[in-house]
A and B are shown apart, each in its own frame.
Chain A
């Protein structure tokens, strides 16, 4: 097994409800959507790399931004953070990601956290395209 879907599986578009569930799974657990679609190699890479990137962001004293519509950039960063799904929720539940502005790695931490969430959003879109038979 090479972990890749067959041509027939790739070409077969899925039903709308199934695709929505797939997207939710992909949001909650990075790589889950690709694993679901039989793209094992890609799924495993995302499953390991994205939460690891998120964890490094937390270790670097990055901040999980709050939703503040009065500060558009902060709100956008918050939306990007949420993109990682369950790891984000776990971090929030344990009070992680408070951010330490005086730390020299603070901005790096923010970059890791935000980009991890944005990359997972791209991963979800990729899985969505695969599920619809576009790739």
Chain B
């Protein structure tokens, strides 16, 4: 498994749990979950890109 795939799996589970906790209607859960998932992955990509020039 690649690190990115693990990141996607992790983001999926956390988004799912938060969406189901926060919303009652399935449609709203799907919308919130999608937004959270996108935010997780987007933030990871942006932070990764920003950190790319930094030495290890």
Whether A111 is near chain B, meaning CB under 8 Å from some CB there, is yes
Task: Please pick, from B1, B14, B17, the residue contacting A46 in the complex, using a CB distance under 8 A.
Answer: B17
Question: With A49-B13, A115-B14 in contact, is A122–B21 under 8 Å at CB?
Answer: yes
Question: With A53-B13, A115-B14, A119-B14 in contact, is A60–B6 under 8 Å at CB?
Answer: yes
Q: How many residues of B contact A (CB 8 A)?
A: 13
Interface size class of A (residues with CB under 8 A): 20 to 34
Kindly identify, within residues 17 to 33 of chain A, every residue whose CB is under 8 Å from any CB belonging to chain B: none
- Interchain nearest-CB distance for A13 vs B (Å): 19
Question: With A56-B9, A108-B6 in contact, is A119–B26 under 8 Å at CB?
Answer: no
The 3 nearest A-B residue pairs measured at CB: A53-B13, A119-B17, A108-B6
